[in-house]
Amino acid sequence: MPDWPQPLVQPDQLVGQLGAPDLVVLDVRWSLEQGAEREAYLAGHIPGAEFLDLDLELAGPAGAGGRHPLPKVEDFAASMRRHGVSFSSQVVVYDEVTGAAARAWWMLRAAGHRRVAVLDGGLQAYLEAGGQLTRAKPSTRSGDFQAKGFERWVGADGLETCRDQGSVVVDARARARYLGQPNPLDPRPGHLPGAVSLPWTDLFDRGRLRPAAELRHLLGESGAGDRPVVVYCGSGVTSCAVLLALEVAGGGSGRLYPGSWSEWAADPSRPVQNPGGG
């Protein structure tokens, strides 16, 4: 089967390659409101797709490190092997454009697996391309995936050093949350001092990632066009969509702050910039 080194695969490409020996398809449907959407997977999924539970397999237990901290790398590797991922696998991850597939893409890349792509437009685009769904349980062989650690991330204590070294810190949450408007998700309103706002949803148009030229323009307007980038959001999920866009735009890979606002704002000793007051 063809190698898809680019971070996106188009729906018609996937439809034409379903059943290929080295292809592993992972259904990462998840939403902020409902969490991992296993029931939706059971009701119908891309043939051969395995369900990947973001809350249990792409994150460690929620706590002081945030709502979706990085899991232990050995747990992540074991999960990938259960889903049939091997060194030779071409992995395609999909969701309903909620940022979950981008999180899976980023984690595989951060763990050293290069052959992974996000399905552009998610499940809806696949259906529009003539793809069919099934309820059949996939037949999966164990993979040989191995990982020694995660790269391209920074912890809360490293953010100041990143800023001092010239990185721009990007807040990928909705602008209202960046501006400090109270909401039930954030421990405290506001944003990291000095962070710029670039809502991840601005990078998409009707569920599809915008063309590279448009992405470069949006990233440039935010100040992230020609500087090293560290991205955060509420809990390190949707910010991965910004990292995906950054790579599609040709701006490098950037770094993720996995704990994100759910970690930072939970510690009252950490400073918060809050334009909304309070």
| Beta strand pairing call for 208-209 and 204-205 | antiparallel
Q: Is 233 a catalytic residue?
A: yes
Answer positive or negative: Cα dihedral of 270, 273, 274, 277: positive
Q: What is the Cα 180 distance to its own chain's centre?
A: 24
Rounded Cα distance between 131 and 253, Å, is 31
| CB-CB neighbours of 132 under 10 Å | 11
CB 73 within 8 A of CB 214: no
DSSP-assigned letters across all residues of 2-24: ----SSEE-HHHHHHHTT-TTEE
Tokens standing for 169?
């810190």
| Beta strand pairing call for 30-31 and 35-36 | antiparallel
Tokens standing for 144?
């040989």
Rounded Cα distance between 107 and 140, Å, is 21
Give the active site residue among 28, 233, 242, 244. 233
What is the residue whose two structure tokens read 């984690």?
Answer: 107
Active site (catalytic) residues: 233
